[in-house]
Chain A
C-alpha cells in the first residue's frame, strides 16, 4: 500500500471494527478438534471489500466537492465503450469539462483514441487484474485534470463479473451491451445489470444482420432491474446518441446544482461566523 495516497480515508478508522473478544475455548476432551485447543478466537466481522469501500467514499467526497458527475462504464470486451466515449466527449467537451479514465489489461490504445477525440484521458493498466478499484482511480486522478463541474467517464475493464463488486466512487454504473452478444446477458450477469442505473444497447445498426431479440433482451433486463433506464443507440451511425447525451447532461446539471447548494450553505455559515466575530 502507498503512503502518499491522496484518496483519503484514515486507515485507523477502518481498524476500529476489530472487537477482539477472548474465548476460553474450553472444548471438552472427548471430541477432537483439528486446531490446537489453545487458540484464541478473534472476532472480525468486516466486509471483505471494506478497504475499497473506504477509498471509494474518499473519491465520492472529492467528486461531490468539485461537482463532478462520474460514470462507471461496464460491459463485456468489445461492446463499444471506447467508440461511444470518443463520440460522446467530442460533442460534450464543447459544453463542459470532460475527462476519461480507462482500464485495460495491456495497452494504452483506448486512451489514445479518446485523446484523438479531444479529451484528456489516462489509462490504468491493470495487468492481470480484471477490474478497476477505487484506490487505482485515486491515483489516476493525480495524472488527470479533474473535470470540475463536468463529467468524468471511467471505462472499466471489459468484464461483466468483477467490476460489479468494486465501487469506484461513481455516481452510477452504466452497463453497455451490444447486439452482437446474447440477449440473455442480463440474466447471466444479473449482479451487474442489477447494479446499473442505465443500460445502453449499442450497435443497433447491426440489428438487420444478427439474430438478436431486442424485446426479449429488454424484458430480461427489466426482470433483473425494474428501475434501470434503457437506451438504444449506435456509436457507429450516431443513431440514438441524443438521448444518451441528454441523460449525461441532466446528470451533470444535477451534480452542478448540488455543488452550488453546498457552496451556498458554506458561504452562509461563513458569513454567520464573520458576523458573530465582528459583533
Chain B
C-alpha cells in the first residue's frame, strides 16, 4: 500500500538519475529514512523488491540508513532523542516534544555501471 507508492517514487528517481548518467545498470541503492517518518521498513523492502524487478536496478542491493528521531521538549526546552512522535520528554516527562529530525525520506545515492 503506502510503501508501494514510496517504492514506485524511489524507482522513478533512481531510473531518471541513472538515465541522465548514461548508466546501464544500478547495482546499489542507499536510502535515508527517518525514525519518525511513516515508513515500515520491511514493507518498503518488499515493495522495492517488487518494483525494481523489471528495471535498470533489478537485483540491486538496497541499504536503508535510519536517521534517529530528535525533538525539542516544549516543556523544558531540552533537545532529546525521540523514537515515537508522542513519547514524553525523557528529561522532564513533559509533553509535547516537537520533532526536529528523523522525519526525512531521501534517496541518498546509487552505484551505477
* Interface residues of A, Cβ cutoff 8 Å to B: 15, 18, 20, 34-36, 38-52, 128-131, 133, 161-162, 164-165, 186-187, 190-191, 194, 220, 223-226
Contacts and interface: CB of A to CB of B under 8 A. Distances in A.
Given A51-B12, A226-B74, A165 B2 contact: yes
A20 B74 CA distance: 40
Interface of B: 1-2, 5-6, 9-10, 12-14, 16-18, 20-21, 23, 27-28, 31, 36-38, 61, 74, 84-86, 95-96, 104-113
Nearest to A187: B86
A6 B110 CA distance: 32
B112 A39 contact: yes
Given A190-B85, A224-B96, A48 B105 contact: yes
A187 B31 CA distance: 27
Contacts of B107: 44-46, 48
A165 B95 CA distance: 24
B27 A45 contact: no
Contacts of B13: 44, 46, 48, 50-51
A131 B14 CA distance: 23
Nearest to B105: A48
8 contacts: A39-B111, A42-B17, A43-B108, A48-B13, A191-B36, A191-B85, A223-B86, A226-B95
A80 B14 CA distance: 40
Given A162-B5, A194-B85, A45 B113 contact: no
Contacts of A130: 1-2, 5
A43 B109 contact: yes
Contacts of A226: 74, 95-96
A5 to B, nearest CB: 15
A164 to B, nearest CB: 6
Contacts of B36: 191
B85 A18 contact: no
Q: Which of B27, B106, B111, B113 has the most CB atoms of chain A within a 10 A radius of its CB?
A: B111
The 4 closest A-B pairs by CB, nearest first: A162-B2, A190-B85, A39-B111, A48-B105
Contact of B9 (A15, A49, A129): A49
Contacts of A18: 17, 20
Given A35-B111, A41-B111, A161 B106 contact: no
Given A47-B106, A190-B86, A224-B85, 14 more contacts: A20-B21, A35-B61, A40-B21, A40-B23, A41-B111, A42-B17, A42-B18, A42-B111, A128-B1, A165-B38, A190-B84, A190-B85, A223-B95, A226-B95
B42 to A, nearest CB: 15
Nearest to A133: B5
